[in-house]
Amino acid sequence: MTPSERIALAVALLASSAVWLGVTGTPGQGQDTVKSHMNRAAGLAAWQQLYSVMSSPRCIDCHTASAYPQQGDNRHRHLFNVVRGPDGHGVAALQCATCHQSANADSTGVPGAPGWHLAPLSMKWQDASDNILPSAAVCKTVADRSKNGGLDGAAIVRHHQTELVQWAWKPGLRNDGAPRSVPPIGYEEFMKATRRWVSAGMPCPQ
């Protein structure tokens, strides 16, 4: 089932709930409740689309819980003893920028985008054993302003428009010349889902 089909199914299920609520509640309250439930369901469906992107290698590789980033679709530990450092930009003489520049270097296979760095530990989307956290846990870190760098909904939308986030859909070539994989949905769909999730109040699965 495609993400769009999942959203349609969720809305249809809520519509059938709406009929039931309309019968049992007071007319005004019922309609408000239905609207709220439908909005939340649409928001949750949008969140699942965001999660499908955030848990893909192009994003999750730098949202580790460890002292190092990961590389590749198999998320192996970054080669060359690269470490997180005090601010997620590496250490004094071995920074992210020691290799990663402001754009992909396809002639050598080194990816790059402005501001290349590891997400802070408060935005880790993996556990200490490098397992990807479940949807609900990732959602909480993204929605929680005490963990996400103080971003409200509008700021999250803007964050998703940065060149570093957009890099996930333009990741360049690996050093064997093959293209890197991209997230499971396109960037436009990702942005639409971001706006739907934000306008629904950034709901998270239980």
Residues 155-184 close enough to bind other proteins by CB under 8 A: 175
Distance CA 206, CA 78 (A): 33
- Coil, strand or helix: which one is 103? coil
With beta carbons less than 8 A apart as the criterion, state whether 148 and 142 touch.
Answer: yes
Using CB under 8 A as the binding criterion, the count of chain residues that bind other proteins stands at 25
DSSP designation for 105 = B
Whose Cβ is closer to other proteins: residue 27's or residue 80's?
80
The residue whose two tokens read 């290799």 is 99
Q: How far is the CB of 66 from other proteins (least distance, A)?
A: 14
Whose Cβ is closer to other proteins: residue 83's or residue 136's?
83
Distance CA 1, CA 77 (A): 33
Q: Which of residues 4, 26, 29, 98 is near other proteins by CB under 8 A?
A: 98
User: Which parts of the chain fold into alpha helices (H)?
Assistant: 3-24, 27-54, 57-60, 135-143, 153-159, 163-166, 187-199
Whose Cβ is closer to other proteins: residue 17's or residue 101's?
101
Does 10 contact other proteins by CB under 8 A? no
Choose the binding region for other proteins from 26-34, 79-87, 128-136, 152-160 (rule: CB under 8 A).
79-87
DSSP designation for 122 = G
Q: Which of residues 10, 59, 103, 182 is near other proteins by CB under 8 A?
A: 103
Does 121 contact other proteins by CB under 8 A? no
With beta carbons less than 8 A apart as the criterion, state whether 106 and 180 touch.
Answer: no
Can you give the binding site for other proteins, defined by CB under 8 A?
79-83, 85, 91-95, 97-99, 101-103, 105-110, 112, 175
